[in-house]
């Protein structure tokens, strides 16, 4: 099974307690399921509002993952100047 490099940002990083991990999975869905099992319910809750990218391209649960692909979890961003 392929090994993806999981990158976590902002609140996803905080919920997981890390910014990086390696996770086995053939699809984005498998990678995120294993990550959720590893990091727990607070990560799962944050994940629901996140966008996921594979190697810089928008992805969904069915997107295939190959060895050394980067799966990035990006929570919504707010703030800025008015």
The whole-model pTM stands at: 0.91
- What's the number of domains the chain is made of? 1
Tell me if 82 is assigned to some domain. Answer: no
Q: The domain spanning residue 12 has which CATH number?
A: 3.10.20.30
pLDDT in tens, the chain (82 residues): 899 999 999 999 999 999 999 999 999 999 999 999 999 999 999 999 999 999 999 999 999 999 999 999 999 875 555 5
Give the structural domain span for 29.
3-74
Give me 14's structure tokens.
């905080």
Tell me if 80 is assigned to some domain. Answer: no
Alpha helix ranges (H) inside 18-72: 28-39, 41-47
Residues 6+ positions from 14 with CB-CB distance below 8 Å: 46
């Amino acid at each position: 099974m392929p090994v993806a490099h999981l990158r976590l940002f902002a609140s996803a990083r905080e919920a997981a307690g890390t910014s990086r991990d390696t996770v086995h999975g053939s699809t984005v869905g498998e990678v995120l399921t294993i990550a959720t099992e590893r990091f727990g319910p607070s990560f799962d809750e944050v994940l629901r509002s996140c966008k996921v990218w594979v190697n810089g391209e928008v992805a969904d649960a069915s997107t295939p993952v190959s060895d050394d692909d980067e799966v990035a979890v990006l929570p919504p961003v707010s703030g800025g100047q008015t």
